[in-house]
Chains A and B, each alone.
Chain A
């Protein structure tokens, strides 16, 4: 049996994450030592941990049990333990024990870090798009954003509503903004487990500034007497969003929307249950 070594360090690119590299055999005699190492980390508030098993050939059942306990204690504090680079033999052992149903396992550090940030830190992913103001592009853009949202596990109802929102705000930006060949529209999307933030910015068409401001003001005052056909888009976006903010000036127009994920009453069977649309 190869003597166990445990190398513990802060991850070089993500120092809030601890990397534990195990080398050697994890036999039953190592349980206490593993418990001590995790307890030390827990006491220091180091609760996001990646355990690298690339140099481990053998793991005993008591050690697997101990790791499950350590993971539970991390989760109680809002952290997690992700295992990476398990050999084929160890993966098979995990399957036999049912441990693969308990642990998060990744192939590499980068994937494990992304999982920890997404699940435990609620760190959003950022997607940015800038494009020439051409109505032709809007269907592709709205489908693109909705495919991302679907991939991230949002329910279909939210996906369609977000697609509708993107369609409206992009159309508005093109129709009411400057749309010369050198102009561009920017769409920033921040998505996390609970919500999506969308921000569209464009150069304002001088002739439309007053008109646009009136539309927003009328909408704020819920004044149905005004030209109701022209305000329907904004009204629709307001109805579908959790919040809407519009800033109009001669320098530019910015529309910012937040949409919280709605809780599914009839779950469709886990994450990523949808199919990417063309």
Chain B
């Protein structure tokens, strides 16, 4: 049976350890390896930190996490109420760059998303019609080649 989970939490950093442990725990319960689960935890930590620090500007803001578990992959989507345009643009620019030195040179704060890119099979940034900013990540089970030809490790 395909599992899916939707979770919303206040835009506060204190929730992130519990959120990332939850998602990695779900991965392990679904027979993904320890290595996979730990890397997924890192991914979730980074994108949730982004969502809270840059995308949850008011105290009432809520962050939404969607987790879909397939046989060979986990799909994670994290959306926030939408931050400042310059932060969204900076994020888009970091995700578009492929050169590590360029990212570090241009974006002092881009290393987190560079880590997410390295550990994911695929990543997308969307600005939703309701104004929310969403980051979607897919991570395939180890040693599977995703449709884009990238082998997951």
Which residues of A are at the interface with B, using a C-beta cutoff of 8 A?
13-14, 110, 113-114, 117, 125-132, 134, 136-137, 139-141, 143-144, 147-148, 151, 181, 276-278
Q: Quick one: CB contact mask for B1-23 with A, threshold 8 Å, 1 for yes? A: 11111111111101101110110
> What residues on A are CB-neighbors of B60 within 8 Å?
13-14
Further contacts, 15 of them, CB under 8 A, given A127-B9, A131-B6, A136-B3? A14-B58, A110-B57, A110-B58, A114-B59, A128-B6, A128-B7, A128-B8, A129-B5, A132-B4, A134-B3, A137-B26, A144-B22, A147-B17, A147-B18, A147-B21
Which A-B residue pairs are the 7 nearest by beta carbons? A147-B18, A113-B59, A144-B22, A140-B25, A13-B58, A131-B5, A128-B8
Contact status of A114 and B12, CB under 8 A, knowing A13-B59, A140-B29, A276-B17? yes
Contact B9 A132 (CB under 8 A): no
Query: In the assembled complex, which residues on chain B have CB atoms less than 8 Å from the CB atom of A129?
Result: 5-7
Tally inter-chain residue pairs, CB-CB below 8 A.
87
The smallest C-beta distance from B17 to any residue of chain A, in angstroms, reads 5
Across the two chains, which residue of chain B brings its CB closest to A145?
B18
Q: Which of B1, B8, B25, B59 contacts A14 (CB 8 A)?
A: B59
Q: How far is the CA of A144 from the CA of B17 in the complex (A)?
A: 10
Whether the Cβ atoms of A151 and B14 lie closer than 8 Å is yes
Q: How far is the CA of A54 from the CA of B62 in the complex (A)?
A: 27
User: Counting CB contacts under 8 A, is B56 at the interface?
Assistant: yes
How far is A129 from B21 in the complex, measured between Cα atoms in Å? 15
Query: A125 and B10 in contact (CB under 8 A), knowing A136-B30, A137-B3, A140-B22?
Result: yes
CB distance from B125 to the nearest CB of A (A): 23
